[in-house]
Structure 1
């Protein structure tokens, strides 16, 4: 569907409208769950869909945390952490690569932009660095559920495998991932 004026609502059927999202570069249905209301916009809705709005906030928070850590690292003569992810990377990682599922457990995310969801949910998506000594880079960052990321914190993968408490439905998948990581680490040490 194409419209020369992307800043207007288009009626796709009687009473149903769509709005262009400047983040996704796609048309989405207009209702409060997809677009926040914005009285200053001529359409009455924000120009970014709710996912894209969340993605920008998430990337900005990760960037700010990295900047603060780099200030501390500089005091102690350590190399600064890298940061090379952006909203486009998060969109591809979330929807295309991980298909809306946690990298570690395979659970579907409780998305913060859907009804009755909050960022406090243990299934809310968060950014996770595989190795905490490396920054938020494309090869080091995945999207994971909040409870797994909190349990993981700064533990090594071996400590995580011994100590993590995951729900029974998540256990088999998490075990496979954890033990394959342990096995790979073990083979690297031997070789």
Structure 2
């Protein structure tokens, strides 16, 4: 009897491991659980790093409209690079959606969710299926390595002067009050 219980327990652990390894939604669910108990809090130490210029960094939305970051001077920019297949990206999307819902009517903050795969139709459908309201964009220009090195997810925040104020590679809970306070602080600075 002991051998059978031990084998069942081992088989169950192996099955859980395989599901976590091969099913992005399961891994995202696990990571989201860790986020809710306090792991993956973003560090919002203020850094003011000048980028060579935001002009020419462009994104296209689902309607074909181009957005150039250089044209957004005077606004706080929340830019997130993600992909539909990325479990950490999937895990942080509910918290980002909550943050977006708080600021979506604020004219001083712009949210851009850049699909790293460039499949706008697929990413828009992904958002719609999950009832997220995040504005999805496709990358339409070269992105400086200071902003995005290919690690998913990556989130960067620019202040109103276009200076890089926050960069985080990896999953984070963006519904955290520290991020809300940080965005409010950035938008209040002239």
TM-score tier by shorter-chain length is under 0.3
Higher relative contact order (CA 8 A, sep 6+): 2
Structure whose CA Rg is larger: 1
TM-score by length of 2: 0.22
TM-score by length of 1: 0.22
